[in-house]
Copies of this chain bind each other. A is one copy, B any other.
Amino acid sequence: MPRHTDAREKMVTSAALLIREDGIAGTGFRDVVAHSGAPRGSIGHHFPGGKEELVSDAVRWAGAIATRAIARAAERGTTEDAVRTIVAIYRRSLTDTQFAAGCPVGTVAQEGHSNPALRAATKQVFDDWRAILFKSLKRDGWRAKEARRLADGAIAGIEGALMMARVDQSTTPLDHTEQILLGAVRRPG
């Protein structure tokens, strides 16, 4: 079972951390090995699918962490709480890295959109997020059609705001977008 080695897991998490800062092309196997402390010679062994396999797993790993946090927030509160949770996660990663780190999922979504395997991995994560927000919005009283719109708009807004925040080297675009989104998802009626 080469799928659950320690070295392999370390490489996947390192890849996710590096990709959210430097992108796919900017993150070589060299960097991943150096960052993870994993043995150099085991790359081909653990990732027979090459870089595509490494990046896919990194997206799924990072996406799953965010998915769990959003789901937990949505279960305990309203959609506003879920939005606040997502934004807080990414605001934190921005400030922790002097605005170098964006969302690894969004990064791969853009840079890897022409690769079917990578596109599938990112789509799965976005679908998970959409499903959680949709369910939460319905519970808040929104109709299905409007809930679908708001879920897409919220994810799009946060991903786009992250992009702007890195360019501005400031959390302001993210803060502004959060305020707009909180106003939009507030319980209807």
Q: Are A159 and B163 in contact (CB under 8 A)?
A: yes
Residue of B whose beta carbon sits closest to that of A168: B123
Q: How far is the CA of A166 from the CA of B168 in the complex (A)?
A: 24
Describe A's contact surface by its main secondary structure.
helix
- What's the minimum C-beta distance from A181 to chain B, rounded to whole angstroms? 7
Residue of B nearest to A173 (CB): B152
Kindly list chain B residues whose C-beta atoms are within 8 Å of the C-beta of A123. Answer: 167-168
Contact A166–B111 (Cβ < 8 Å): no
Task: Give the interface size class of chain A.
Answer: 35 or more
Q: How distant is A117 from chain B, measured CB to nearest CB, in Å?
A: 13
Q: Tell me the complex Cα distance, A10–B141, Å.
A: 53
| Pairs across A and B, CB under 8 Å, 13 listed | A22-B114, A23-B110, A25-B111, A26-B111, A102-B113, A110-B166, A111-B111, A123-B167, A123-B168, A148-B176, A152-B161, A152-B172, A153-B161
